[in-house]
Chain A
Amino acid sequence: MNNSTALLGLDPIAIGDLIWAPLLIILLKVVAVFVIGLVATMLMVWFERKAIAGMGNRIGPNKAGPWGLLQTLADGIKLFFKEDLLPDRADRFVFKLAPFLAFVPAFLVWAVIPLGGDFSDGKDGLVTWFGHATRVQLADPPIGVLLLLALSSIAVYGIMLAGWSSGSKYPLLGSVRASAQMVSYEAALGLSLATVILMAGTLSTSGIVGNQSSFTDWHVVSTGVIPFIIFMLAATAELNRPPFDLVEAEQELVGGFNTEYSSIRFGLFFLAEFMNTITMSAVIVTLFFGGPQGLFDIPGIPGAIEGSIWLIAKVLVFLYVYVWMRATLPRFRYDQLMDLGWKILIPASLGWFMLMAVLRLGRDEDWNVVVVTIVAAVIILGCVALMSTAVKVSKANREREGAMF
């Protein structure tokens, strides 16, 4: 095993000497991921505006290009030519750094998502390009999905520092909210992810996709829906999207953490936000819905391309769900948000993880399934009762002391 494998991940193309053809393929993948990411974000902005307009009985963008498709491009060019303001009381270096800290993690997550490939009949997602076996994903590092958690924790810095370095009250309030919210929900995100890792038995994203070869093996089914629901809620909170968009609540905070930003720096935050929505949808599809694995064979299309078609179709469903939630759900209050995160999502994900682990252990050790299930159910019910009593008692205590919350 040589150096390059360890550093570049477990893609077979990165093993051995990196001479022309493999190097070109990797470069091609980098460029392709970059371009696909940007174009997808552009279309996502258009899609969101159009869909929300439709739900609000309006027309939405319809002037630039056919069906207003080029509206985002026009807005981007306009942002480039606007004046770049630097507030007087801003911390100059951090103020300039923050947009990049928000934007770069959004891009990097794309590297570990399998974008296609043939997973049928034990082919393991490998395709052959120009005589070299490779995966249709930029990198397949051994830590796999942990990279996703690491990057989402870096993304906090972008928002937090943007608000602080503006040297102004409302952005600071926005960023304090953001950091508390994102740190709280990261725990639930990680714990529901742990259930998936338990089922797949591997951290690598291609391994997780490879484990979901039929509908009943899709992790949304095999982990029993709960981790998916928790992950979806926690991911929405991580993205700061409605109904968890307290970070940029216009009515309370002007524009939230990005109030003082203008020109292309604002554009970077905007891009990062929409790109994060797409990446998170792709991550949900990868973890719970089999990624590029299809439900049935589409006739007449080779396996590798079929995978990409399935992936795009599944991601589109989640993008629509995100837009739909934005158009229909009112924003949470801050204490409601914290209650949901700490008192419901984290205990629920932890309890479900333990249940899955016990069921798995029981299967490995040949214990009686019925007994295991009944004992586990009794213990879980006991824990829920204990938890809700504790919450009730502490709430009663606070009310007696005259606290407002």
Chain B
Amino acid sequence: MELVVFIFSAAMILIGGLGVVLRSHPVHAALSLVLTLFGVAVIFVSQEAHFLAAVQVIVYAGAIVVLFLFVIMLLGVDRTEDIKTEPFKVQRPLAIIVGVGLIGLVTAAVVTSRDVVATRGAGIAEPEMTDPDSNIRQLSRSVFGDYVVAFELTSVLLVVAVVGTVLLTRKMKSTLKESQ
């Protein structure tokens, strides 16, 4: 049962991932990304991480990719891109080097820590009849207890990013005149 689920979701992830890279149409690429995210959510469920699966769908598929699509539609760049022209010469060789390096690193990490990865659902409290929320409780203890400083710092970082974006994109008329 678990093997079947894994094969299907892995196929979803791979097809989606290839689609993101190979489809020349930006909207199709974004939709392939949704397929990948769903595959990951399915794997989360089969690994007993129900809450992560739900958040994966709500946040990534439901908000982030929707915003991608929104920008693509609003800017009207939803036409096939000509990938023959090269605006930035070094990026292709650089991308190949980084890609190969990343694959090597992930493979090395999996090989060296195989026995830790192999146990299914280890470290995650499984939901039970008497306590269906044990999974979420454990997660929140970890995030708001052990790692609360890191968590709060991340949210500060996000707020800074948002405020900075607003400040950068907003050009007041008065400041425009001064700069001219």
Contacts and interface: CB of A to CB of B under 8 A. Distances in A.
Nearest to B67: A183
Interface in B26-62: 27-28, 31, 34, 45-46, 48, 50-51, 53-55, 57-58, 61-62
B2 interface: yes
Given A3-B2, A6-B126, A160-B69, A94 B132 contact: no
Interface residues of B, number: 37
Interface string A333-348: 0000000000000000
Contact of A164 (B67, B78, B126, B127): B78
A175 interface: yes
Nearest to A147: B54
A6 B54 contact: no
A402 B45 CA distance: 52
Interface string B6-19: 00000000000000
A10 B173 contact: no
Contact of A183 (B34, B63, B136): B63
A175 B73 contact: yes
Contact of B61 (A10, A153, A176): A153
A7 B45 contact: yes
Given A164-B78, A203-B133, A179 B51 contact: no
Contacts of A180: 70
A146 interface: yes
A375 interface: no
Main secondary structure of the interface of B (DSSP, over half): helix
Contacts of A157: 34, 66
Given A7-B45, A183-B67, A402-B173, A142 B132 contact: yes
A3 B66 contact: no
Given A164-B78, A186-B62, A142 B50 contact: yes
A156 B62 CA distance: 8
A143 B51 contact: yes
Contact of A141 (B1, B2, B34, B50): B50
A179 B69 CA distance: 9
Interface in A190-227: 190, 201-204, 207
A150 B129 contact: no
Contact of A202 (B53, B69, B133): B133
A356 interface: no
A196 B70 CA distance: 31
Interface string A371-405: 00000000000000000000000000100011000
A1 B57 contact: no
A10 B127 contact: yes
Q: Max chain B CB contacts within 10 Å: which of A3, A182, A203?
A: A203
B174 interface: yes
Counting chain A CB atoms within 10 Å of each CB, which of B31, B62, B136, B174 scores highest?
Answer: B62
7 contacts: A7-B46, A10-B128, A146-B51, A147-B54, A149-B58, A150-B58, A161-B69
Interface of B: 1-2, 27-28, 31, 34, 45-46, 48, 50-51, 53-55, 57-58, 61-63, 66-67, 69-70, 73-74, 78, 126-129, 132-133, 135-136, 172-174
Given A3-B1, A146-B54, 6 more contacts: A7-B45, A144-B132, A149-B54, A150-B58, A152-B62, A156-B62
